[in-house]
């Protein structure tokens, strides 16, 4: 059983690389998609991803309860591919909140903390291989608003927690993977 984190910037090729790894495993693949169609542009993106995805794979759409999805679908001889953690994080962060303070510290809700903990526990206890795709969002300009800084901070914390639990971590830039942790095959 191997847990792999594939991360990089937007349009870096991280999802394509993760899908290549999944296909090469020759295992049954469960593709956990975390995106929700909040507007027409996102609906079009999701439709495009559905068309490009390997039709032999089982797709599970889960925007919030990612830990439960991994616990349910993970099994020996099976690979769970999650795309992507930062969309899931965004869904989770904003699922309960209606208003945010303009200044000051933003406190995660009980639901946020519970779902994050359940996800990390399910990742540690996965019975089969897991590949997780995530964005690196902290390499640019420090965001101006409190909400944007909160997201960048939480994404960084999540990537660190996931990387610590994974046997392999790959950084993808310009379609080229760089192994940061683990051994390349």
Which of the four pLDDT bands, split at 50, 70 and 90, describes residue 106? low
| Contact of 30 with 75, CB cutoff 8 Å | no
146-165 vs 110-125: helix axis angle to the nearest 10?
20
Q: What is the pLDDT of residue 98?
A: 47
Annotate 39-54 with b (16+ C-beta within 10 A) or e (fewer). Answer: eeeeeeeeeeeeeebe
pLDDT of 109 over the 80 cut: no
CATH number of the domain encompassing residue 161: 3.40.50.300
Mean pLDDT of the chain: 90
Taking 60 as the threshold, does the pLDDT of residue 50 lie above it?
A: yes
pLDDT the model gives residue 123: 98
Residues 6-36: pLDDT tens digits?
Answer: 999 988 999 999 999 999 999 999 999 999 9
H or E, element range at 30: strand 28-33
> Whole domain around residue 22: which residue ranges?
3-181
pLDDT digits (tens, 9 = 90+) for 71-103: 999 999 999 999 999 999 999 988 765 455 554
Interatomic CA distance for residues 102 and 66, integer angstroms: 29
Q: Count of domains in the chain? A: 1
| 8 A C-beta contact, residue 64 and residue 34 | no
> Which of residues 98 and 138 earns the better pLDDT score?
138
Joined together, the tokens standing for residue 168 give 């392999």
Question: What sign does the CA torsion over 62, 66, 72, 76 have?
Answer: positive
Predicted confidence band at 118 (pLDDT cuts at 50, 70, 90)?
A: very high
Classify 8 as helix, strand or coil.
strand
* Active-site amino acid positions: 49
Question: For the chain, how far is it from start to end, CA to CA, in angstroms?
Answer: 15
Prior bond of 84 cis (ω within 30°): yes
């Amino acid at each position: 059983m191997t847990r792999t984190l594939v991360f990089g910037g937007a349009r870096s090729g991280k999802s394509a690389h993760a899908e290549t790894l999944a296909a090469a495993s020759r295992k049954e693949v469960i593709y956990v998609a975390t995106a929700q169609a909040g507007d027409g542009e996102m609906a079009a993106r999701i439709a495009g991803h559905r068309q490009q995805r390997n039709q032999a794979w089982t797709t599970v759409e889960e925007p919030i309860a990612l830990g439960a999805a991994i616990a349910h679908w993970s099994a020996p001889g099976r690979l769970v591919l999650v795309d992507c953690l930062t969309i899931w994080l965004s869904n989770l962060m904003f699922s309960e909140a209606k208003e945010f303070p303009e200044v000051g510290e933003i406190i995660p809700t009980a639901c946020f903390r519970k779902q994050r903990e359940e996800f990390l526990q399910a990742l540690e206890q996965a019975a089969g291989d897991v590949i997780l795709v995530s964005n690196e969002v902290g390499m640019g300009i420090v965001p101006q608003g409190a909400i944007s800084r909160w997201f960048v901070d939480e994404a960084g914390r999540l990537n660190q927690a996931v990387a610590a639990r994974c046997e392999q971590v790959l950084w993808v830039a310009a379609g080229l993977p760089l192994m940061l942790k683990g051994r390349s095959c």
